[in-house]
Amino acid sequence: MVGVRVSSGSVMRSGLQSTERIGSATNYSPRRRYPSSMLNSGSDSGSKSRIVFLGTGTSEGVPRVSCLTSPESDCPVCPDAMKPGSPNRRRNTSLLIQREFSDGRISNVVIDAGKFFYESAMHWFPKYNVQTMDALVITHAHADAVGGLDDLRDWTNNNQESLPIYLRETDLDSVESLFFYLVDRNKQTGGGGVAKLTFETIDDSPFDADGLEMIPLPVEHGRGQEIFGFRFGEVSYISDASAISDSTTELIAGSELLVLDALRPARTHGTHFTLEQAVDEARRLGVKRTLLTDATHDIDHVPVNAELAKLKESEGLDIQYAYDGMEISVEL
Ligand SMILES: [Zn+2]
Ligand SMILES: [Zn+2]
């Protein structure tokens, strides 16, 4: 089992016990609300808002199929991830921001549509009554953030006229090389309709996504590679990062909730924070609550979160891994 090092100088064992493992729906509810003193429904604001984690996993997802098929594999996480309701089941990182207004209208803004978008949508959209996608916001053009764009055809063919997608010019160039027929619909050759997507390019300036102000949070995702996280209301969302600059730190200041990339313990990757680095960043940024995302199969959800919970007792640091389907009420 991997030792979880969550603070400099102390290596904590995750203490894997069979009784601590969650693998069945009997003791795990994906709709469970985590108690939070600072995030609530804000019913007097005229809207009910929530975020829902559509995916909390790295590009390859969890389980790794190779862990399931290799006779040599001793990975405890991937077989567990196959069990219904397991929090170790992780699709590509993605977030739903859902606002329900007093007139009954529901707005759904999604951050990223990666390779597993279809599976995430199939799993969580019916549960959260997502009947329209009102905007899609892209962090960067890696496959785990844009690989599902073709699947948006279901929305624009059957649900709505078009779908605005907010992304940087450089990411639009990458999307065009991946999905030339989505950017220039004149180049489609198939008989079925392709998605009618409206690409809106963004820069560092705040922009409006279906009435929700999104503030880009430029972060380093590997040396010399800048991508965007986003702040909306009191939530700062950074799904892919290896460094956060002073100017972005200022943009995060005052957030109530930070969602932060934490790939795996110990081993650096170069393009993502390790768990230890993410814990240090959470300390440095001083946001009241941090939820970690973009995890590999090295993270065993329940025991790792149990270790992280000790940081709340010892130093008041509220930090946990999120899980697919996790819902949090926010004020937006
Ligand atoms: Zn595995
Ligand atoms: Zn990436």
pLDDT in tens, 276-294: 999 999 999 999 999 999 9
Of 294, 283, 271, nearest to 318 by C-alpha is 283
Three-class SS state of 119: helix
Q: How confident is the model at residue 48 (pLDDT cuts 50, 70, 90)?
A: confident
Assigned domain for 8 exists: no
User: What single string gives the DSSP state of each residue in 199-227?
Assistant: EEEE-SS-EEETTEEEEEEEEESSTT-EE
**Ion ligand 2, residue ranges at CB < 5 A:** 142, 240
Ligand 2 midpoint to CA 306 (Å): 28
> Residues 101-114: what's their mean pLDDT?
95
In percent, the amount of the chain with pLDDT more than 70 equals 83
Ligand at shortest distance from the CA of 263: 2
By residue range, what is the domain housing residue 193?
A: 41-330
Q: Give the range among 52-56, 176-180, 223-227 with minimum mean pLDDT.
A: 176-180
**Domain harbouring 303, CATH code:** 3.60.15.10
Is residue 266 one of the residues assigned to a domain?
A: yes
Residue 228 lies in a domain: yes
Asked if 13 and 282 touch (Cβ cutoff 8 Å), the reply is: no
Predicted confidence (pLDDT) at residue 173 exceeds the cutoff of 90? yes
Longest CA–CA span in the chain (Å) reads 61
Average pLDDT on 223-232 reads 96
Ranked by mean pLDDT, the top range of 17-26, 155-164, 269-278, 280-289 is 280-289
Give Cβ neighbours of residue 186 (< 8 Å, ≥ 6 apart): none
The pLDDT score that the predictor gives to residue 27 is 36
The residues, any chain, with a CB within 8 Å of residue 77's CB and separated by 6 or more, are 62, 63, 67, 88, 297, 298, 299, 300
Nearest ligand for residue 142 CA: 2
pLDDT of residue 47: 62
| For range 112-128, the mean pLDDT | 96
Q: How confident is the model at residue 42 (pLDDT cuts 50, 70, 90)?
A: very low
Which pLDDT band, with edges at 50, 70 and 90, does 191 fall under?
low
For residue 90, the ligand closest to its alpha carbon is 1
What pLDDT shows up at residue 161?
A: 86
29 in a structural domain: no
In a domain, 217, yes or no: yes
pLDDT tens readout for residues 63-77: 999 999 999 999 999
Confidence of residue 119 (pLDDT cuts 50, 70, 90): very high
Look up tokens 């768990």; give the residue.
275
- How far, in Å, from the CA of 240 to the mean position of ligand 2? 6
On whether residue 189 sits in a domain, the answer given is yes
Name the more confident of 91 and 191. 91
Residue 35 counted as domain residue: no
Ligand nearest to the CA of 240: 2
**Strand (E) or helix (H) holding 318:** strand 318-321
C-alpha span between 94 and 118 (Å, rounded): 12
Measured from the Cβ of residue 31, the count of other Cβ atoms closer than 10 Å reads 10
Please name every residue paired with 164 in a beta bridge, in sequence order, or none if there are none.
198
d(CA 215, CA 123): 28
Mean pLDDT, residues 292-297 taken together = 96
The count of structural domains within the chain is: 1
Ligand 1 mean position, distance from CA 15 (Å): 18
- Identify the CA nearest to 163 among candidates 128, 214, 201, 199: 199
The Cα 299–Cα 266 span in angstroms is: 11
pLDDT at 23 over 70: no
Token pair of 262 as six digits: 């934490």
Provide the total of helices (H) and of strands (E) in the chain, helices listed first.
10, 16
Cα of 29 from ligand 1 centre, angstroms: 23
Strand partners, 114: none
Is 25 a member of any domain? Answer: no
